[in-house]
Structure 1
């Protein structure tokens, strides 16, 4: 009897470890593909003859689709089952990765990047849900700790892995392996996941807000597309008209949300203490983050002539600082958890200012470059991670999935807008040696604004627990 009793928990732990490996590997691939293309962008430009706006669409197309469908993906998981949606999203993501790797032109690549983002949006929201229904107690805490580590590592690994794959130029395929690497991994995860993922509970009390999805998607596209294409097209009239119409589309979205029975963003979420301020701060942090990665990848390779591998490796100090900060900020006394957001935003801005000084001479400015990258990574983690925690702390359990979807959407939209705005700024100044310096100064301003969003949080009560 003792042997049976001992083996049962051991078997359960093994099953949980395998499940966690599968779903976090899917999560990791989704995060990886938001950044792995940055380092490969100059090679794509040369191979496909892509314009600057085309490159921005290759990068932003993924995150636009990803951001727009995240909340819907979370809602569909509740309606149809977390396992089914995870596997469906993973299959779409894997197939789209194959087509991206085989794309013969920039237009085809952009189209399948949109499909790839849609697959990621179906897959990623199910990860937390599967953790919640599979783990409990201390094991859930450990699972969430690994989840946080994967999120913090994914972005920078994308930069480094992208550099390795592009530099290797496997079989003369240049940039294509940055997409094709997902295919064997995705197929393996599908085979294991189909056998090991549990058939989780289905929540049928919530419907799908199609009008909200359509109006929000329209609003974002009307805003982002002109920002991405404006510089290349010399800021045509249609772009300004589209951006004006985006304001009306956002207003229409708010009206639709007030009238629908199952809104994408329930009003009570935004009324929860700290959610609106934290969501705004997350948007600005990720705008600075997305713009920084895109502009620096182009500057290091195009302006300074670095190889893709060297450019990717220069981001390692930022990744290490981001990971260490995101995993350890909770060790601070609870009374400092909110003030650290503002302090970290100041650190980020200081890092951007140091970066501007390092690049002002026209070279790498080492070792100040690596120091400033590390400061930026630590500061962004110290702003982003506590903002997420504050935003979710007072959300009712019934709204947890929608709150996670909302914050994930703000995270992705921030990156899209950051790439569009700061990419346009950098490209409009390039090849001037001052392009990276001026961009860094504006990034510092946005980072400070993100910290400013946290100031109202300092006057609210401490989070429970």
Structure 2
């Protein structure tokens, strides 16, 4: 009796699907940590390299703008050259740029390597979705995607704490540089494992990428974000207002280019028919407001506790634990309710988020200069729960009325808007914070500056609440808004 083993590519890929998922999750963790940790390490980096207040904003905004721009074509690169190949190329580049960030000797070099890191991350991350769908049968896809929730939650909790611990530890005298250097061994292990367990896919060289439109979109993002960050420091010169207007106009040009290419039958970055769907267009503007509030509040909180209250990086990371845990609770609560209540979960989450932001401001003023982690944690916990309830059903609801042929384009556009909204929030709320602060370094001045920025964040959430009514009532409705 002989024993044979099926070693066909299909059966081998199926057998290795769970190890391959861990490699994909490692890439997600690297991206999530790099998006979160620079706000914790920002003040320490400025103290070492210089660069002033705007460097803290650019460390986050430069990465997210590059990510948003690159995501428009990152997924297409996997279709053309193979998903495993582009995943590994992106991982190798992301790891190399992490090392370059750790070795940066000037603010300009650090921001430049952060931009390249974001671009390479945009090559790496989109491949994970396609690889999961390729590796897992339909009945296991949901289980595979279910692993992302706990990973995101743990990263939200552990990322800032890990960053603060690494900076305070000052291993080998590297200080803040270790928050980037830690990516190197993780990336190398993922590269070796990925080359062995990720399945190959068939490239399609017939696909063409609309590089010109991608360049126009990236230009629009820079024109919009750059003056918001640099304008205040330079006294809001006339060119800053010209750039803002040019940024809006360039987005209009981008939309016109996409429509013209679509009429000609040429490939587009975003399927123009999506903009005729109320759910999708409503989702874009709602996402801008909500993700702007989320990321902007995060950097303002970090600046307040480190520069205003004098917390160490580790203590600053621990100070935000209540919000991160609250966000996990919100996600867990929302998941089983999403199918039944849909949009109403988002609305409840937005109300809780706005109320928590207002409560946080009131807490700062009630506690005075002696405000501490215990006083801030209740409002931060509610803030996290509200954000979790808001974000959990967001993508599912927005994509409800999108046709199967439009899903790839819609997902890429929504993810890009998520990144752009984050960069916009960091730029606007950070600018409001520093403008209100002026040259006063007292705790009261930092409290007033944080309050001004958080009030604006509450305004963003209120705008998101109104815009949410543009979305379908639940994820399985059609785009016209009809349904039970």
| Closer/same/farther in 2, CA of residues 173 and 333 from structure 1, 3 Å limit | closer
Conservation of the 8 A alpha-carbon contact between 1:281 and 1:387: no
| Closer/same/farther in 2, CA of residues 363 and 129 from structure 1, 3 Å limit | farther
Matched residue, 1:308? 313
Matched residue, 1:164? 165
| Closer/same/farther in 2, CA of residues 144 and 460 from structure 1, 3 Å limit | closer
Q: After superposition, what is the alpha-carbon deviation per residue over 1:18-75, rounded to whole angstroms, capped at 9, x for unaligned?
A: 1000011011101110111110001011111121112211221111100111021011
| Closer/same/farther in 2, CA of residues 220 and 174 from structure 1, 3 Å limit | same
Matched residue, 1:380? 387
Conservation of the 8 A alpha-carbon contact between 2:63 and 2:117: yes
Matched residue, 1:418? 425
Distance of 2:58 and 2:377 partners within structure 1: 29
Q: After superposition, what is the alpha-carbon deviation per residue over 1:265-317, rounded to whole angstroms, capped at 9, x for unaligned?
A: 11122334511112221221110011111111111010001111111012222
Q: Does residue 445 in structure 1 map to residue 459 in structure 2?
A: yes
Q: How far apart are residue 5 of structure 1 and its match?
A: 8.9
Matches within 5 A, 1:7-406: 15-204=16-205, 206-260=207-261, 261-332=266-337, 334-360=339-365, 361-364=368-371, 366-406=373-413
Shifted more, 208-217 versus 152-161: the winner is 152-161
TM value normalised by structure 1: 0.94
Distance of 1:385 and 1:90 partners within structure 2: 27
Matched residue, 1:434? 448
What SS does the corresponding residue of 1:208 show, helix, strand or coil? coil
Report the count of equivalent residues: 465
Distance of 1:366 and 1:164 partners within structure 2: 17
Q: After superposition, what is the alpha-carbon deviation per residue over 1:100-135, rounded to whole angstroms, capped at 9, x for unaligned?
A: 000011011011001100110000111111111111
Cα RMSD (Å): 2.3
Shifted more, 360-369 versus 79-88: the winner is 360-369
TM value normalised by structure 2: 0.91
Distance of 1:179 and 1:346 partners within structure 2: 36
Conservation of the 8 A alpha-carbon contact between 1:34 and 1:155: no
| Closer/same/farther in 2, CA of residues 11 and 214 from structure 1, 3 Å limit | closer
Distance of 2:140 and 2:164 partners within structure 1: 36
Conservation of the 8 A alpha-carbon contact between 1:219 and 1:249: yes
Conservation of the 8 A alpha-carbon contact between 2:331 and 2:389: yes
Distance of 1:376 and 1:5 partners within structure 2: 53
Q: How far apart are residue 403 of structure 1 and its match?
A: 1.5
Q: How far apart are residue 6 of structure 1 and its match?
A: 12
Distance of 1:344 and 1:179 partners within structure 2: 34
Q: How far apart are residue 436 of structure 1 and its match?
A: 1.1
Distance of 1:328 and 1:268 partners within structure 2: 34
| Closer/same/farther in 2, CA of residues 452 and 368 from structure 1, 3 Å limit | farther
Q: How far apart are residue 333 of structure 1 and its match?
A: 6.5
- Provide structure 2 residue ranges, at least 5 long, that are not aligned to the other structure: none
Distance of 2:285 and 2:410 partners within structure 1: 14
Distance of 1:303 and 1:150 partners within structure 2: 31
Conservation of the 8 A alpha-carbon contact between 2:14 and 2:135: no
- Select 2:470's aligned residue among 437, 444, 456: 456
- Provide structure 1 residue ranges, at least 5 long, that are not aligned to the other structure: none
Conservation of the 8 A alpha-carbon contact between 1:211 and 1:256: no
| Closer/same/farther in 2, CA of residues 72 and 5 from structure 1, 3 Å limit | same
Q: How far apart are residue 325 of structure 1 and its match?
A: 2.0
Distance of 1:295 and 1:405 partners within structure 2: 28
Shifted more, 218-227 versus 9-18: the winner is 9-18
Shifted more, 358-367 versus 403-412: the winner is 358-367
Shifted more, 7-16 versus 280-289: the winner is 7-16
Distance of 2:163 and 2:314 partners within structure 1: 8
| Closer/same/farther in 2, CA of residues 139 and 236 from structure 1, 3 Å limit | same
Q: After superposition, what is the alpha-carbon deviation per residue over 1:403-447, rounded to whole angstroms, capped at 9, x for unaligned?
A: 111111010001100000000111112241311112111111111
| Closer/same/farther in 2, CA of residues 460 and 321 from structure 1, 3 Å limit | closer
Conservation of the 8 A alpha-carbon contact between 1:358 and 1:366: no
What SS does the corresponding residue of 1:362 show, helix, strand or coil? helix
